[in-house]
Amino acid sequence: MIVSEPRRPTASTVKTVRTHCPYCAFQCGLLVTPDGDGTLSIAGDADFPVNAGALCLKGYTAGETLGHPDRLTTPLARNAAGNLVPVSWDEAIARIAAGFRLLQRKYGRDAIGVFGGGSLTNEKVYLLGKFARAVLRTPHIDYNGRFCMSSAAAAGLRAFGLDRGLPFPVSDIAMADAILLVGANVSETMPPIMQYFEEQRRAGGQLIVVDPRRTATAEHATMHLRLIPGTDAVLAHGLLHVLIHERLIDEAYIRERTEGFEAVRAHAASYWPERVERLTGVPQRDIISTARTLGLASNAIVLTARGAEQQSQGVANVLSFINLALAMGRVGRPYNGYGCLTGQGNGQGGREHGQKSDQLPGYRRLDDAQAREEIARLWGMSPEDLPGPGRSAYELLDTLGRDGGVRGLLVMGSNPVVSAPNATHIEERLASLDFLAVCDFFVSETARLADVVLPSAQWAEEDGTMTNLEGRVLRRRQVVPPPEGVRTDLEIIQGLAEALGSPRGFPASACAAFAELRQATAGAPADYSGITTGRIDRERGVFWPCGPGASHGTPRLFADRFPTPNGRARFHRIHAFGSAERPDEEYPFFLTTGRVLAQYQSGTQTRRVRRLSTAAGGAQAEMHPQAAKRAGLANGTEITIETRRGRASFRLKTTAAIREDTIFVPFHWPDEQSANRLTNDALDPISRMPEFKVCAARITAAAGGRDNR
Ligand code: SF4
C-alpha cells in the first residue's frame, strides 16, 4: 500500500524550529516542535514582525497533513490494466524521461510542457524554469499563479515599471488614515493581517471595502460599496471624477512624477456620480463620500485583490485603481500608495524566478536580449538555444493533447482539475495527453489522471526560501525529515534532469540552488544577489531588491523615482467594458467565486485536515433570501448551479449579505461541488488571467425542485 508512517524524530533531535506557514502569502512565522510521536506542535512566532504571533486555524493545523493516511510514500505508475500501482523511483523517473523523449522525437521539443505552482519555494521555481528551458528546451512552462496574480503584476509593471505586491511593509496599513480595499476578504483569507486594519480603525482611520458581498471584512469597515460584479473600473473612474472635480488631486506630484494624466482626466470627466451609480449600483452619495475620505486623508492606501483582478478586464481594473493612487500623489510616500494583496504562499517569489511563460529569473523578460545572454551563459548554453515565450497557463492547458499543442506534461505543486476555470474542459484536455506526470503529496484530482505520480516532501520536511506579499524573502526550514520513500521537489528535478542527459546544474540542496538563484538575479529588477540566509535570519526577512553591495533590503519602493525609462509612473486611460458574460434571460444571476476561512485553494491539503473539514466540510452557495424565495428555494436546500460551461451542486445558504442579483460559491471542492466547472475561461488580453469572478448562472433545486429560469 502507498501509505507509511512519517519518520519519527528521536528525543535527541526534538527542538523548536522557526519556519513559515505552508499556505497563504502572509507567510506567518511559526514555531514548530516535533512531539516525538510523529505530530507537530505549532505556535505563532511572536518575534516575526509580520504576523507577530497570530495565526489562523489553517496555520495551527498545518502539521496534520504530514502524517495523513492518504500520504503518498512511493511513486505510482499506470499499469497495463490502467491502474496506478507502486513502482520504484528508478522506474518512475525512467518512465517519465522515456515518455518525454519519445514525444519530443515524434512531435518536437515544444510537445512537452511544465505546469508549476505559486506555493513552490523560490529554489524550486528557479530550477523548474531552468529544467524546462535548458533540459527540455521547451517554451511551454507556466503556473497556477497566472490564475491568481497576473493581472496585478501586469498592471504594476505598466504603471510603475516594477511589480512587487506591496511596495511598502504591511505595517503601513495601520498608519493609513484611509484605506480603499477592493475585492479582498482578508478576514477570512489571511486573518492575522486584520491586526493592522484593527489598529488603523482604533486610531480613527477609515476603511472602505468594495465587494458585491458584505463579507466579514466588509462588516469591519466604515463603509461598504456593494458594487455590481464586473464594474470595478467604472467605480474607480467615478471616484477619480469626484477627486478631480473637488480638486483633491495632487497636481504637483502629477506634474513631477507621472505621465499621461491629461488623457485620464478627460476620460474621467464622463464618469459623473449619477452615471456611475447607474452602472455600478453604488449610491452616488457613497461614491462622493469615499472620494472625499481618500482625498482628504493625510495618508491613504488603495489595495486590490482577486475580486478586481480575476476578471477578463483585470489589468484595466487594477490600472484604474492605480490611477486613483497616483492622482492623489500617494505612491512612494510612507503609509500611502497602492498595493496588491498576493494570495498564494509564494505568489510573489513564484512569479519572479522563471516559471512564468514570458520571464526569466529575477523578473527579467524572456524577449530581452541581454537577459537571455546573461542567463544562457549562467546555464552553459547559447542564447539562441534558449526558447522564447510560451503559452500562458490556461492557453497551455487548453491546447493539451491537440495538434500543435503539448502532448506530455509535468505538473508540480498544482491541481488544475480543481483550480482551472471551465474545469470539466481542462480535465478532458489533461485526460487527452499522451503522457502526464504529477508531483504531489496526495493523489490529487489531477494526479488521478497521471501516468506517473511522484510523492514529494511537504513544507516542514525541506528547506528553502519564500517571498511574502511584501516582497520580504523568508526561510522555510526543515523540521522533520520526509517519510521514507518521499523525495523533495529539488531531488525530483535533479533526477529528471539527470535522466534526460543533464547530470549537472540541478542541485538538490536548497542552499546551493539559492546561491545560483542569487547569481541569476544580480542586476535584475527582482535582485536577490545581496540576500543571504544569515541576513534573512538577522533581519527577519530581507526585502528585494537587494543587490550585492546593499547594506539592507528595500522595504519601500518608488520614494524618489519609478523604475521606468524616464523615472515617471504612468497613468492609463481605461475603457471599462465590464465582464465577458452578463446575466440574461437564460442565466439570470451573476456568479462569483472565492475562498472560505477554513480551506485553501484547491483543498488538496486542507480538505484532509480534520479540524478544517469540520469547520468547512462542503461547498455552500450563498444567495439573497429574496432571490431564493422568488426561485422557490429554502435555506439548506441542495441546489444545482448551471452556467454555459457546466453544472455543480451546493447546499444553499441564504444571506442578506449578498446582492440579490449575485450568487457566491467557494472553489475548494472537486467533482460535483466544483465551482470551477462553472467559471468562465474568458482571458484578460494582457495578463491572460481567466475571469473567475464573474459569469452568468442559473439555479435549480437539485432534487426536482422548481427551477428559476
Ligand atoms: S494561512 Fe495565511 S494567515 Fe493563516 S496561518 Fe497560514 S500564512 Fe497565516
Closest CA to 543 of 633, 495, 482, 474: 474
Question: Residue 30 CA: which ligand 1 atom is closest?
Answer: 5
Question: Residue 20 CA: which ligand 1 atom is closest?
Answer: 7
Residue listed under C-alpha cell 510523529: 38
Q: Which residues contact 204 (CB under 8 A, 6 or more apart)?
A: 177
Q: Note the pLDDT tens digit of each residue in 345-380.
A: 999 999 999 999 999 999 999 999 999 999 999 999
C-beta separation of 240 from 288 below 8 A: no
Q: Which pLDDT belongs to residue 579? A: 95
How far, in Å, are 99, 111, 112, 529 from residue 404 at the CA level? 17, 7, 11, 39
CA–centroid distance, residue 165 to ligand 1 (Å)? 17
The residue to mutate among 20, 56, 612, having the most atoms of ligand 1 within 8 angstroms of its beta carbon, is 56
CA–centroid distance, residue 474 to ligand 1 (Å)? 14
CA–centroid distance, residue 195 to ligand 1 (Å)? 13
C-beta separation of 209 from 181 below 8 A: yes
Q: Which pLDDT belongs to residue 2? A: 33
DSSP tag of 456: B
CA–centroid distance, residue 28 to ligand 1 (Å)? 6
Residue 204 has phi, psi (to 5 degrees) of 90, 10
Closest CA to 83 of 450, 432, 604: 450
Q: How far apart are CA 74 and CA 441, in angstroms?
A: 10
Q: What does DSSP say about strands 17-20 and 29-34: parallel, antiparallel, or unpaired?
A: antiparallel
- For ligand 1, residues with CB inside 6 Å are 21, 23-24, 26-28, 51, 55-56, 58-59, 190-192
H helix or E strand, kind and range, residue 189: helix 186-189
How far, in Å, are 184, 228, 275, 287 from residue 281 at the CA level? 19, 6, 10, 10
Q: Which pLDDT belongs to residue 703? A: 53
Residue listed under C-alpha cell 500500500: 1
CA–centroid distance, residue 566 to ligand 1 (Å)? 39
CA–centroid distance, residue 671 to ligand 1 (Å)? 26
The residue to mutate among 19, 20, 24, having the most atoms of ligand 1 within 8 angstroms of its beta carbon, is 24
Residue listed under C-alpha cell 512537452: 112
For residue 545, say if its preceding peptide bond is cis, omega within 30 degrees of 0: yes
Which residue's alpha carbon is at the smallest distance from atom 2 of ligand 1?
24
Q: What does DSSP say about strands 542-543 and 223-225: parallel, antiparallel, or unpaired?
A: unpaired
C-beta separation of 28 from 51 below 8 A: yes
CA–centroid distance, residue 185 to ligand 1 (Å)? 14
Neighbours of 398 (CB within 10 A): 18
Residue 406, strand partner residues: none
Closest CA to 569 of 326, 226, 361, 339: 326
CA–centroid distance, residue 221 to ligand 1 (Å)? 22
Q: What's the angle, vertex CA 587, arms to CA 585 and CA 593, rounded to 5?
A: 150
The residue to mutate among 190, 194, 476, 611, having the most atoms of ligand 1 within 8 angstroms of its beta carbon, is 190
Q: How far apart are CA 8 and CA 484, in angstroms?
A: 10
Q: What does the block give as the cell for 312? A: 477578463
CA–centroid distance, residue 434 to ligand 1 (Å)? 38
Question: Residue 24 CA: which ligand 1 atom is closest?
Answer: 2
Which residue's alpha carbon is at the smallest distance from atom 4 of ligand 1?
56
Residue 625 C-beta-side C-alpha neighbours within 13 Å: 4
CA–centroid distance, residue 189 to ligand 1 (Å)? 8
Q: Which pLDDT belongs to residue 398? A: 97
CA–centroid distance, residue 188 to ligand 1 (Å)? 10
Q: Which pLDDT belongs to residue 702? A: 62
CA–centroid distance, residue 209 to ligand 1 (Å)? 21
CA–centroid distance, residue 59 to ligand 1 (Å)? 5
Q: Which residues of the chain have pLDDT under 70?
A: 1-14, 702-709
SS3 assignment, position 666: strand
Q: Which pLDDT belongs to residue 446? A: 98
Residue listed under C-alpha cell 529569473: 361
The residue to mutate among 58, 61, 185, having the most atoms of ligand 1 within 8 angstroms of its beta carbon, is 58
Question: Residue 27 CA: which ligand 1 atom is closest?
Answer: 7
Which residue's alpha carbon is at the smallest distance from atom 8 of ligand 1?
28
Question: Residue 51 CA: which ligand 1 atom is closest?
Answer: 8
Q: How far apart are CA 423 and CA 412, in angstroms?
A: 18
DSSP states of 25-90? TT--EEEEEE-SSS-EEEEE-TTSTTTTT---HHHHTGGGGTT-TT---S-EEE-TTS-EEE--HH
Please provide the distance, in angstroms rounded to a whole number, between the alpha carbons at the two ends of the chain: 49
CA–centroid distance, residue 357 to ligand 1 (Å)? 28
Q: What does the block give as the cell for 129? A: 524554469
Which residue's alpha carbon is at the smallest distance from atom 5 of ligand 1?
59
Q: Which pLDDT belongs to residue 700? A: 85
Q: Which pLDDT belongs to residue 5? A: 37
The residue to mutate among 19, 20, 23, having the most atoms of ligand 1 within 8 angstroms of its beta carbon, is 23
Rounding to the nearest 10 degrees, give the CA dihedral for residues 253, 254, 256, 261: 170
Q: How far apart are CA 224 and CA 237, in angstroms?
A: 18
DSSP states of 290-343? HHHHHHH-SSEEEEE-HHHHSSTTHHHHHHHHHHHHHHTT-TTSTT-EEEE---
Residue 304 has phi, psi (to 5 degrees) of -120, 160
Q: Which pLDDT belongs to residue 166? A: 97
Question: Residue 26 CA: which ligand 1 atom is closest?
Answer: 7
Question: Residue 191 CA: which ligand 1 atom is closest?
Answer: 3
Question: Residue 192 CA: which ligand 1 atom is closest?
Answer: 3
Q: Which pLDDT belongs to residue 625? A: 97
Q: Which residues contact 262 (CB under 8 A, 6 or more apart)?
A: none
The strand order across the sheet containing 464-467 reads 464-467, 472-476, 542-543
CA–centroid distance, residue 249 to ligand 1 (Å)? 37
Question: Residue 59 CA: which ligand 1 atom is closest?
Answer: 5
Q: How far apart are CA 383 and CA 17, in angstroms?
A: 42
Q: How far apart are CA 438 and CA 604, in angstroms?
A: 13
Residue 81 C-beta-side C-alpha neighbours within 13 Å: 3
Which residue's alpha carbon is at the smallest distance from atom 3 of ligand 1?
190
H helix or E strand, kind and range, residue 202: helix 194-202
The residue to mutate among 45, 48, 55, 194, having the most atoms of ligand 1 within 8 angstroms of its beta carbon, is 55
CA–centroid distance, residue 27 to ligand 1 (Å)? 6
SS3 assignment, position 487: strand
